[in-house]
Amino acid sequence: MHESRVVIFDTTLRDGEQAPGFSLRTDEKLLMARRLDDLGVDVIEAGFPIASADDADAVRLVATTVRRPVVAALARACAVDIERAAWALAPAARARIHTFIATSDLHLSRKLHITRDECLEAAIAAVRLARSHTDDVQFSAEDATRSDVDFLCRVVEAVITEGCTTVNLPDTVGYSTPDELFEFFTAIRGRVPNADRAVFSTHCHDDLGMATANTLAAVRAGAGQVEVAINGIGERAGNASCEEVVMAMRVRRDLLRCETGIRTEALFATSRTLAELTGQDVQANKAIVGRNAFAHEAGIHQDGVLKDRRTYEIMRPQDVGVPATTLVLGKHSGRHAVKQRCEDLGHLLDRLEVDRVYRAMIVRADAQKTITDEDLQQMVQSVRASAQADVATPAAGLAAAGVPVPVARPKATVGVRPR
């Protein structure tokens, strides 16, 4: 079956940076943009130029410096925003103006205070103006998944007619389920008569923890672009995670039948760069890039991974730029992992030594949860010191190793009377 090429639209520097605590300075934005370029993303959404002079300058600097990917800038469906975005993108080798307006009745009535017809007119005018600046125009129907489908189809058809090349249908508040999103994209693409003239894009938020699953559902329904962020950062609970979406496509290529241009071995380094710039680390159990993503403590898991990593790992750590699997030593670990870790540290232990080090490790792990390499080195030295003592004074050596030593009793004398 033919594999489709999915466009990776990274919004780390726009939606991601809008999240509380994730703001970046101009020089930091440029550094992150370079990392995204190295990663191989197709589109870098560099910012929202109308938001501030600094943001506009940052977008312009990225557009000037980063030449391979498309550089996009966000603009509301109004002239002042679009002109500001056009100015910021002017130096770009490949520029995209990304304009948007809400289409749900809730947003139209409660936020924008406009009618459906006014919304439609604004969308058409925005795309028309953006097209006067660039051939690459993206339109987003904010809150698309809670919009009336008939009205949404009218808007989508109209913006494509005006020359919009990418149509984004975001799940703005992370409300949808994967089944719903699959049916939603299938319906829109099937009902809009000129749908074949534009790439459909998905932008999912993680309010219910389904952003990655929803993104993949949209891809299965024909979306040709996914909007993601490194480490899943973004408004509220965040966006679909770039590393999760990309690796799901790679690991489950048999099901999703698609590919990307991402250099997956750069994912971990890109994640670390963002964490360092923002001072916001990812949770330990975060998929793909969390510190426990390729770590094993349970003895059964460690034994399986040492025999064949596929028993408990569905991808190699090196595939995402993690140097190696980590066997964490703790109270759940087994002898096999202790022996292997000692060998990694340069200590070849015999069976008795392994057993003694293992028992010492379990005792210490109960007190301090995890065992460091330094702890293990000390245990090996202690066990070997006790073994040397055992050779010189067997009883002392056994006692030092924690082995019970029987107490010698005086022999009874037979046939001899004391005088």
Render pLDDT for 90-133 as a digit per residue (tens, 0 to 9): 999 999 999 999 999 999 999 999 999 999 999 999 999 999 99
Strands 43-47 and 7-10: parallel
What pLDDT does 416 receive? 44
How confident is the model over 184-199, as pLDDT tens digits?
Answer: 999 999 999 999 999 9
**231 & 315 share domain:** no
Q: Residue 152: which CATH number?
A: 3.20.20.70
Is 347 within a domain?
A: yes
State the chain's mean pLDDT as an integer: 92
Q: Is the pLDDT of residue 261 over 50?
A: yes
Is 192 within a domain?
A: yes
**44 & 123 share domain:** yes
Is 285 within a domain?
A: no
Least confident of 198-202, 258-262, 368-372: 368-372
Q: Is the pLDDT of residue 397 over 60?
A: no
Average pLDDT in the 266-292 region?
95
Domain count for the chain: 2
More confident residue, 229 or 18: 229
Average pLDDT in the 278-293 region?
93
Is 178 within a domain?
A: yes
Q: Which residue has the tokens 């948007």?
A: 100
**201 & 246 share domain:** yes
What pLDDT does 87 receive? 98
Q: Is the pLDDT of residue 244 over 90?
A: yes
Per the DSSP assignment, residues forming a β-bridge with 239 are: 205
Per the DSSP assignment, residues forming a β-bridge with 229 are: 241
**172 & 312 share domain:** no
Q: Is the pLDDT of residue 401 over 80?
A: no
**101 & 133 share domain:** yes
Asked which of 226, 250, 278 is the last residue of a domain, the reply is 278
Report d(CA 8, CA 215) in Å as an integer: 12
Asked which of 278, 303, 334 is the last residue of a domain, the reply is 278
What pLDDT does 205 receive? 98
Report d(CA 319, CA 317) in Å as an integer: 5
Is 86 within a domain?
A: yes
**67 & 195 share domain:** yes
Asked which of 224, 248, 278 is the last residue of a domain, the reply is 278
Q: Which of 177-201 are b and which e, b meaning 16 or more Cβ less than 10 Å from the residue's Cβ?
A: ebeebbebbeebbeebeebeebbbb
What pLDDT does 388 receive? 83
Residues with Cβ within 8 Å of 195's Cβ and at least 6 positions away in sequence, in order, are 156, 160, 188, 189
Q: What percent of the chain has pLDDT over 90?
A: 77
Task: Provide the domain limits for residue 299.
Answer: 295-400
**274 & 301 share domain:** no
Is 20 within a domain?
A: yes
What pLDDT does 297 receive? 84
Q: Is the pLDDT of residue 148 over 50?
A: yes
**363 & 227 share domain:** no
Is 100 within a domain?
A: yes
**91 & 203 share domain:** yes
Average pLDDT in the 152-173 region?
98
What pLDDT does 150 receive? 98
Q: Is the pLDDT of residue 214 over 70?
A: yes
What pLDDT does 167 receive? 98
**R_g of the chain computed on alpha carbons:** 30
Of 53, 65, 148, give the one whose Cα is nearest residue 105.
148
**273 & 352 share domain:** no
Least confident of 154-168, 244-258, 367-381: 367-381
What confidence tier does 394 reach under pLDDT thresholds 50, 70, 90? Answer: low
**328 & 259 share domain:** no
Tokens of 186: 């299938």
What confidence tier does 412 reach under pLDDT thresholds 50, 70, 90? Answer: very low
Report d(CA 403, CA 252) in Å as an integer: 52
Is 40 within a domain?
A: yes
What pLDDT does 366 receive? 86
What pLDDT does 389 receive? 80
What pLDDT does 409 receive? 52
**255 & 352 share domain:** no
